Amino acid sequence: MQHSTQAIHAKAIELGKLAVQMTTQSGAGHPSSALSLSHLVTTLFFEHLRFDPDNPWHPQADRLVLSEGHAVPIVYAVYADMQGRVGTSPSNSHRLSITDLNGLREFESVLDGHPNPAEGFPFFDAATGSLGMGLSVAAGVAWAALQDGSPRRVYCFIGDGESREGQIWEAADFTIDHKLTNLCAIFNANGEGQAGLVSPQQHAARLIEKLQAFGWRAVEIDGHDPQAIHAAFVEFEQTDRPLAIVARTRKGWGVQPLLGGNYHGQPVPAARLAEAFVSLDEQHRQLGSSPALAVELRSPISIPPRSTTASASPAIQLPPITAALERVGLSGAWQKGKLATRRAYGAALVALADMDERIVVLDGDVSNSTFAEMMAKAHPRRFIECKIAEQNMVSVAAGLAAAGKIPFASSFAKFLARAADQIELAAISRANIKLVGSHSGLGPASDGPSQMALADLAFFQSIGAVDNGRHLPSCVIFQPADAVATYRCVELMANWPAMCYLRTHRPDARIIYSVDERFEVGGSKILRQGNAVILVASGYLVGETMGAAESLAQRGCSCTVIDAYSLPLQSAPILESARNCGGRILTVEDNYGGGFGTAIAEAAAAAGSITVRQIQVRRIPKSARTPEQLMNAYGVSAAAIVEQVIAWSNEV
Amino acid sequence: MQHSTQAIHAKAIELGKLAVQMTTQSGAGHPSSALSLSHLVTTLFFEHLRFDPDNPWHPQADRLVLSEGHAVPIVYAVYADMQGRVGTSPSNSHRLSITDLNGLREFESVLDGHPNPAEGFPFFDAATGSLGMGLSVAAGVAWAALQDGSPRRVYCFIGDGESREGQIWEAADFTIDHKLTNLCAIFNANGEGQAGLVSPQQHAARLIEKLQAFGWRAVEIDGHDPQAIHAAFVEFEQTDRPLAIVARTRKGWGVQPLLGGNYHGQPVPAARLAEAFVSLDEQHRQLGSSPALAVELRSPISIPPRSTTASASPAIQLPPITAALERVGLSGAWQKGKLATRRAYGAALVALADMDERIVVLDGDVSNSTFAEMMAKAHPRRFIECKIAEQNMVSVAAGLAAAGKIPFASSFAKFLARAADQIELAAISRANIKLVGSHSGLGPASDGPSQMALADLAFFQSIGAVDNGRHLPSCVIFQPADAVATYRCVELMANWPAMCYLRTHRPDARIIYSVDERFEVGGSKILRQGNAVILVASGYLVGETMGAAESLAQRGCSCTVIDAYSLPLQSAPILESARNCGGRILTVEDNYGGGFGTAIAEAAAAAGSITVRQIQVRRIPKSARTPEQLMNAYGVSAAAIVEQVIAWSNEV
């Protein structure tokens, strides 16, 4: 559905005016970046992007990921022009009007400063704005479409300066590995960054060379030439390889006040708005178009009509863990009474995937450590090997979640830190992803601190402690003590409608729960009752703590032991227990803090009268041949617990 | 200094045996990866690397960064062979013996599981092991050498699977932009990853194509051919461009029990050690070498002798801020009585750089927002534009610090999250780097949450709360309230011998401190005395809190206000103040928590009797046109403070 060159120019000018207008009105925004995309966006929306403005939730519609999120005004403009629907759900939505654009960046508006689907702009699949993540998200959406046999195509706009982010090249590798033939990456080579010109390393010619070296088909075009843009999109549609379009563009295209200087993130001053419009009108004259020509454009909707109300998916109910262990050949563990939590994770994945097609698993070349490999063996088509590129893995997972999958992404817990920024953006997107970190804490002892996740709980808990705007914590954390708890926590994760983080451990852990034990988000279990200090632990340290309690009991000091396996923690029962026995709580962790101990200390400090002390790692570790050596050296052990409790009990 | 091919083979076999032996002895480690580097390491150390085993601290010696840190046993082997010196300082060091190798990964050993200079192996400049960071570190060391006019060359070994990490390609761009002609990257293309084979995207041929597309000179060689290796290193030494050597190698080279399967991270079982040695001896026969030939090899030391004891650098003492502001044309701010803390940061950088040659500044294309651009203007040779690649920026800074520079690396605080893993590795390296995040918290209001640093304090504080093994916190955090505090905190950072993080803000802040006010690490200031609740804030929220206190005073409620500008906080004075006035503390923050409020709550919970409540952001934000709108919406404002204090005062 090709329109005349003049009509595209006319619409590009019209949308450009809107982008300039709304940013001036808002007093903030990036009109110059938006204008550099004006023809690309116009051509894409009116000639190629098969979507229904009345139903941005349509599961088979083509998708656009705007990786350079700051350019969003041009997308808001075209969306308003098409009267696209906005809102947090089909039942709570309305059509975006041109007038609405003036609300850009207002607190009451759905038009956030950068793409933010969670606040009512569902056209986008993911929040963007921290640069370099979009191609990975697009790859996740594209992977899901291919797997589902959907005709969906996925487009992604990427800034040239942004392509300096290494994640772009991780996504480029991923796209080739997984043959994402339905993915089109468009690089916006306007040559200008924020603080200065883009490096020659990111110029159009070099981008073409790089993309080809990464195995992509890549074409260079004039990004303000409607014919060339159309031809490139047609080439993408007609062939069976991912295509990269490197488009030479002009930042501030057509707007005199935005040309010839560094106007990144600078709206046109209100006093110069008229001048800006005049210079855009002048483009009509130069290009032989006229405002009236823009009217004829229509969206190329050609997606099959489909109900917007996806049938509600029933909760997944896993069989008993014994059946799941048998399924993966681990029955012996049940008899032996011990199993590493990471192995229980693998068994749970397979059980989940047996029951629900939405389950997909990602891993970064460590599936034989995380035990995601059980999924690779049982359901190879739903196992996605991401290789050593954790940033891409997390953003791909966000894309998969946007496409309706329930993605579990696992790696060493330490290496998930590589994707901290991607995890934050996934949280902002309210992406329903499940992150799993193995070998957490001091566990990888002899490998040394470069392999140990020690700051992870502080990071995830700071996100988890805030509301996601839907009355849910932005991230739920699980650190189960045994195989049963792990199995049921993974089940909880699959059914929970928001981001989760599971922390598993390397060594075998004694099975302490019965096969029918129940667990809940934010829950905890009292494992032992006493009247002296309350000991709170999670993960493998529950075993260590039970040992300490036993030792203390023999010395006449009877302690309560609580397995706090989930954050944000329901702290009231723990504080209540503490009030009943002297008001003392000792928490036990093998991370740097900011996790369970902090959560309880904060609750206690807010409530008063309880005293909380914390055992945690208080020095950057080095190697030792066993975790036990490190636990002793850094005071995270049964002996250290005993010592602290005795000393505390002797205080007045 | 070329040795015979047979001699290199002989030494490679000898070192291979040591790598196998020490990992078997330790029961852990990656001998197969080590063996794939055996010829490369042998040739490098005995023919090219100009360093003095007796003085690994030599400031002009060539350096090796082992990006694929798990291969470290082969480096330990050659280092012991050369009797290299180990220890935490020249005065506390000894020569590493072959016997010492058996201590690999022991708690008492300097031989950590992955390179870890801070625990006594100073040959390395940085801890590695979380993959993909080494080339950036090497680039930082190389940049410093070029600037210092040092003949130093820098070598970096990178795994093929590892080169999937995007950061490698950020470093590749950086190397070309900054013409690091003294940098040699060696890719170890052994084709095997941890969980499976390396993707074709990381095969040797594709790596060559990629490197050339990135502008590198790249040569492919047989990584077990001493002649070819030597020739490639000579090519690097004789030409004036960075060189990438892509070496085809064999994982587990020469050791039958480690070939033909997936033996990543698997030592040879003790029972098969003899078999392993026999198969290595068999290599002698095949290659025409013999053990005796290895003896003749000597290190190619040719660095100028130089004292190991660098003269102690005097502390930098900055002039009054008024002079520094005048220097950068900001005198007017002093008269007006307000200045954004980010501008004060820029002025402080220039003042520091005027006084000390070691000061260098890095930024990621946002220097006109962070105001690092003042440095770019005043000292362009010591301003390093890293473009949009924060991971590389942080690791380059770690390399610069290893080379004796004092690097300040600034970006939007949010975008530093991109480098969370790199920051952790820098902390493990005890890298003396200074990180600066602008636009933190709710400040970038209209830009929306993708631009807001909200989890940053939790992350940095979890690192900062632990000892770095030298009786210092692993990271010190500053959040100054005004220009004077910022200026003096930046001075503190420059003189502090470990990692620091400074959080600056976007809007103008009233100057509240006098020109000669003094600040200290972990300090706080009582700005107002009262007898009701203690209000604790930092950064721009100090102003908001003072406003609340004023409003409360008018309602008969007299509050103490404390500016807690640094973490880890000396909490005792704050708790003492609280005890004297009702035991109530209300903390005020615009982040997700895990920062100042948490630190005080934890101290209070440990001490008992104090009650701490916290104001912080408790929902993922969206856009609003002003920070004030968000502060009101999320209850982080003077009005919210007043409301909480009144309600609290009315409780029994």
- Give residues with Cβ within 8 angstroms of B575, minimum separation 6: B600, B603, B604, B607, B610
Query: Average pLDDT for residues B293-317, to the nearest whole number?
Result: 73
C-alpha–C-alpha distance, residues B402 and B397, integer Å: 9
Assess contact for B553 and B501: CB atoms under 8 A: no
C-alpha–C-alpha distance, residues A480 and B168, integer Å: 35
HSE at residue B586, side-chain half, CA atoms within 13 A, is 28
Token pair for residue B586? 């209300």
For residue A551, the distance in angstroms to the closest alpha carbon of chain B comes to: 24
Q: Report the mean per-residue pLDDT for chain B.
A: 95
C-alpha–C-alpha distance, residues B394 and B391, integer Å: 5
Residue type at position B527: L
Q: Does A620 touch chain B (CB under 8 A)?
A: yes
pLDDT at B301: 74
B449-461 tens-digit pLDDT: 999 999 999 999 9
pLDDT at B370 over 70: yes
DSSP string, B297-340: ------SPP--SSPPPPPPP-PPPHHHHHHHTT-HHHHHHTEEE
8-state DSSP, A197: B
Which residues in chain A are contacts of B593 at CB distance < 8 A? 462, 465-466, 602
C-alpha–C-alpha distance, residues B161 and B203, integer Å: 9
pLDDT at A308: 45
B605-614 tens-digit pLDDT: 998 888 888 9
Token pair for residue A478? 């699980």
Q: Does B203 touch chain A (CB under 8 A)?
A: no
Q: Does B170 touch chain A (CB under 8 A)?
A: yes
Q: Does A212 touch chain B (CB under 8 A)?
A: yes
A442-465 tens-digit pLDDT: 999 999 999 999 999 999 999 998
A539-584 tens-digit pLDDT: 999 999 999 999 999 999 999 999 999 999 999 999 999 988 889 9
Nearest by Cα to A131 from A118, A146, A115: A115
Token pair for residue B375? 């440095």
pLDDT at B566: 97
Name the B residues in 60-119 with CB < 8 Å from any A CB: 69, 105-107, 109, 111-114, 116, 118-119
pLDDT at A312: 65
C-alpha–C-alpha distance, residues B365 and B386, integer Å: 7
Assess contact for A180 and A143: CB atoms under 8 A: yes
Contact A465 B593 (CB under 8 A): yes
pLDDT at B307 over 70: no
Q: Does A472 touch chain B (CB under 8 A)?
A: no
Q: How far is CA B521 from the centre of its chain?
A: 20
Q: Does B631 touch chain A (CB under 8 A)?
A: no
Task: Give the containing element (helix H, strand E) for B171.
Answer: helix B166-177
Assess contact for B384 and B178: CB atoms under 8 A: yes
- B26, B187, B197, B365: best to mutate for the A interface, most A CBs within 10 A: B365
- B67, B387, B450: best to mutate for the A interface, most A CBs within 10 A: B450
Nearest by Cα to B395 from B384, A433, B462, A97: B384
B62-117 tens-digit pLDDT: 999 999 999 999 999 999 999 999 999 999 999 999 999 999 999 999 999 999 99
Token pair for residue B502? 């400074």
- Give residues with Cβ within 8 angstroms of A556, minimum separation 6: none
A94-151 tens-digit pLDDT: 999 999 999 999 999 999 999 999 999 999 999 999 999 999 999 999 999 999 999 9
Query: Average pLDDT for residues A635-642, to the nearest whole number?
Result: 88
Task: Give the containing element (helix H, strand E) for A537.
Answer: strand A534-537
Tell me the catalytic residues of A. Answer: 390
C-alpha–C-alpha distance, residues A155 and A147, integer Å: 17
C-alpha–C-alpha distance, residues A623 and B116, integer Å: 9
pLDDT at B446 over 60: yes
DSSP string, A466-525: SB-SSSSBS-EEE--SSHHHHHHHHHHHHHSSS-EEEE--SSEEE--S-TT----TT-EE
Q: Where are the beta strands (DSSP E) in B79-236?
A: 85-89, 92-95, 154-159, 183-189, 217-222
Task: Kindly indicate the confidence band of residue A611, based on its pLDDT and cuts at 50, 70 and 90.
Answer: confident
pLDDT at A217: 97
C-alpha–C-alpha distance, residues A99 and A18, integer Å: 10
Option in B130, B415, B597 nearest A130 (CB): B415
Which residue is closest to A165 within chain B, CA to CA? B389
pLDDT at B310: 53
HSE at residue A215, side-chain half, CA atoms within 13 A, is 22
Which residue is closest to A604 within chain B, CA to CA? B605
Query: Average pLDDT for residues A238-252, to the nearest whole number?
Result: 94
Judged by DSSP in three states, A298 sits in: coil
Contact B366 A195 (CB under 8 A): yes
Nearest by Cα to A201 from A242, A165, A251: A165
Contact A173 B164 (CB under 8 A): yes
C-alpha–C-alpha distance, residues A606 and A626, integer Å: 38
Cis preceding-peptide flag for A568 (omega within 30 of 0): yes
> Partners of A384 in the beta sheet?
A362
Nearest by Cα to A493 from A377, A378, A359: A359
| Residue whose token pair is 């309602």 | B555
For residue A88, the distance in angstroms to the closest alpha carbon of chain B comes to: 14
Q: How far is CA A621 from the centre of its chain?
A: 29
pLDDT at B308 over 50: no
C-alpha–C-alpha distance, residues A614 and A600, integer Å: 9
Token pair for residue A190? 């306007």
Assess contact for B439 and B410: CB atoms under 8 A: no
C-alpha–C-alpha distance, residues A118 and B384, integer Å: 37
pLDDT at B314: 84
Task: Kindly indicate the confidence band of residue B305, based on its pLDDT and cuts at 50, 70 and 90.
Answer: low
Assess contact for B533 and B645: CB atoms under 8 A: yes
- B260: buried, middle or exposed (CB in 10 Å: 19+, 13-18, 0-12)? exposed
Query: Average pLDDT for residues A21-49, to the nearest whole number?
Result: 97
For residue A310, the distance in angstroms to the closest alpha carbon of chain B comes to: 27
Instruction: State ipTM.
Output: 0.97
C-alpha–C-alpha distance, residues B422 and B420, integer Å: 5
Which residues in chain A are contacts of B206 at CB distance < 8 A? 213-215
C-alpha–C-alpha distance, residues B126 and B431, integer Å: 8
C-alpha–C-alpha distance, residues B157 and B246, integer Å: 10
Which residue is closest to B449 within chain A, CA to CA? A428
Judged by DSSP in three states, B89 sits in: strand
Option in B114, B166, B195 nearest A366 (CB): B195
Cα separations in angstroms, B565 against B338, B459, B489, B581, B595: 18, 17, 9, 22, 11
pLDDT at A651: 82
- Count the Cβ atoms, other than its own, within 10 Å of residue B209: 18
Judged by DSSP in three states, B536 sits in: strand
Assess contact for B624 and B633: CB atoms under 8 A: yes
Option in A112, A194, A594 nearest B448 (CB): A112
Assess contact for B388 and A132: CB atoms under 8 A: yes
Between residues B637 and B277, which one has the greater pLDDT? B277
Tell me the catalytic residues of B. Answer: 390
Option in B26, B365, B633 nearest A107 (CB): B633
B411-422 per-residue burial string, b: 16 or more CB within 10 A, e: under 16: bbbbbbbbbbbb
B326-362 tens-digit pLDDT: 999 999 999 999 999 999 999 999 999 999 999 999 9
A154-204 tens-digit pLDDT: 999 999 999 999 999 999 999 999 999 999 999 999 999 999 999 999 999
Assess contact for A166 and B391: CB atoms under 8 A: yes
Q: Does A605 touch chain B (CB under 8 A)?
A: yes
HSE at residue A127, side-chain half, CA atoms within 13 A, is 31
